[in-house]
Amino acid sequence: MKIKVLDTTLRDGEQTPGISLTASEKLRIATKLDEIGVNIIEAGSAITSHGERKSIKEITSEGLNAEIASFARAVKIDVDAALECDVDSVHLVVPTSNLHIEHKLKKSKEEVLSQAIDASEYALDHGLIVELSAEDATRSEMKFLKEIFNQGVDVGVQRICACDTVGMLTPEKSFEFYKELSTINAPLSVHCHNDFGLAVANTLGAIRAGATEFHCTVNGIGERAGNASLEEIIVSLKTLYGKGQNYTIEDNDSSIYKTDINIQELYSTSKLVSRLTGVYLQPNKAIVGENAFAHESGIHADGVIKNAATYEPIVPELVGHKRKFIMGKHIGTKGLKNNLDELGIKASDEQFMEIFDKVKALGDMGKCVTDVDLQAIAYNVLELKREQKVKLEEVTIVSGNKVIPTASIKLKIDDKDILEAGVGIGPVDAAIVAVKKGISEFADVELEEYHVDAITGGTDALIDVIVKLRLGDKIISARSTQPDIINASVEAYLSGVNRLLEDVE
């Protein structure tokens, strides 16, 4: 069965508190929606403002393949505004529940019915496709709802839509409700809101009941708790109503419901909308969230590496996403090895276990280690495992408000113990001064540059120190990554010293 998609990101989605898209941003989103195969783009509500009409006109003048629609109330002024924008259709919305009719419109049902039909005929007479939509339909009397829809169909409206405006349906009720409306002789659309977190489930129930079009927004954005999510519905239709297996890009689509959506563009579309709207996407958002295909548990990572289907219902590439192995206290050796392989880092068994222990230690501190962190940790371990002429045995710092920062260090140079002390303007400076004094009889190494980054955040951040050292006309860079800035600084400095001395020899 072919299912059409009406995307209302640019109308219902823009009604999310805090979102206000420019004309160029709306055009970028509309172009992307058209590229991925959306059938109908609700570009906005033309009556809203001059700027809104300008935005809609820019979209309609672009020559997109999708049908371009404007939201309109059941009044001629709204239809005229839509006509001014050269749209293909109007999403003509009329309230149908007693609550809306009596308290919002303060009209009789007869007046509402007459107004809906008059507006529909006016739009049809002016060449527009009309999707007659009942607002708060799921709290309306079914008899009145059917009467409006049937009279609309009689005058020529091409589609009808029932809106679950405040998300009151359950999946069971949704099936029954849309099954009743599917007997009307017109294509039926479903429009669900997510107030109880059931918008996608209710939309799927409506499609099973006979709806042949669904309304949605990218990332499920929209006022209050948002709308039904485009990406969740599309992937559910493809996978849960087909094989129900772990889908790969090469799999033939055996779903009983077909859409024109290019499923591999869902992640990139999500990112575009998130960036342009400024709406933060929660990491655990289904399908497109950054953690949707992320694994930290060692057991899970091991299973996914052996066979992705063990802990993934679909492969991430199907929606243009990417699998990630998160490094924290739950990571296993298989997951860490996979990450090191992806970064092109080769380590011996001993070096690997040292890297593993450092990642685990950071995880116990409540940190998640990123790829950047892992690179720094790995390079640090690999560097320290080189044969070292100068080794740090001990460093002690004394510092305070009324105390000159003082450092004492113990070095081992060619099996000889060297004790030295130094003072500086800060504890790091004092430590480096002490080290310089300790190696002075072997080499006169100058510190050219010193750079420090806190790469994991927080007061217990993982510190990455990079130094540039000079010995004669030889200059090298070295780094160390640790939670302690003093130890990291001294280790980076000595790592560079050892490399310089190695080159001299």
Stretch(es) of the chain classified as CATH 3.30.160.270: 387-504
Asked whether 389 and 372 are in contact (CB, 8 A), the reply is no
Angle (nearest 5°) at CA 312 between 307 and 313: 115
Give the pLDDT score at 228: 98
Segment 400-453, tens digit of pLDDT:
888 899 999 998 888 788 899 999 999 999 989 998 898 887 778 888 888 887
Q: What is the pTM of this model?
A: 0.69
Please give the Cα distance from 123 to 352 (Å, whole number).
70
Q: How far apart are CA 207 and CA 211, in angstroms?
A: 4
Angle at 243 between CA 310 and CA 268, to 5 degrees: 75
Partners of 232 in beta bridges: none
pLDDT at 300: 46
Say if residues 105 and 136 touch (Cβ distance below 8 Å): no
43 and 26 Cβ atoms separated by less than 8 Å: yes
Place of tokens 């003509």: 92
Residues 409-439 as b/e (b if ≥16 CB within 10 A, e otherwise) read bbbebeeeebebebebeebbbbbbbbbbebb
Whole-number Å distance between alpha carbons of 483 and 465: 11
Q: Which of 84-88, 299-303, 407-411, 417-421 has the highest mean pLDDT?
A: 84-88
Determine which helix (DSSP H) or strand (DSSP E) holds 465, and give its type and residue range.
strand 463-471
Q: With bands split at pLDDT 50, 70 and 90, how would you rate the model's confidence at 501?
A: confident
Domain 387-504, what fold? Double Stranded RNA Binding Domain (3.30.160)
Write out pLDDT tens, residues 8-33: 999 999 999 888 899 999 999 999 99
Contact criterion met (CB below 8 Å) for 288 and 266 = yes
Domain with CATH 3.20.20.70 in the chain: 4-228
The string of pLDDT tens digits covering residues 211-261 is 999 999 999 999 999 999 999 999 999 988 865 455 555 555 667 899 999
Closest CA to 297 of 340, 334, 341: 334
Predicted pLDDT at 296: 47
CA 399 to chain centre: 45
Name the CATH architecture for the domain at 4-228: Alpha-Beta Barrel (3.20)
Lowest mean pLDDT among 67-81, 101-115, 338-352, 365-379: 365-379
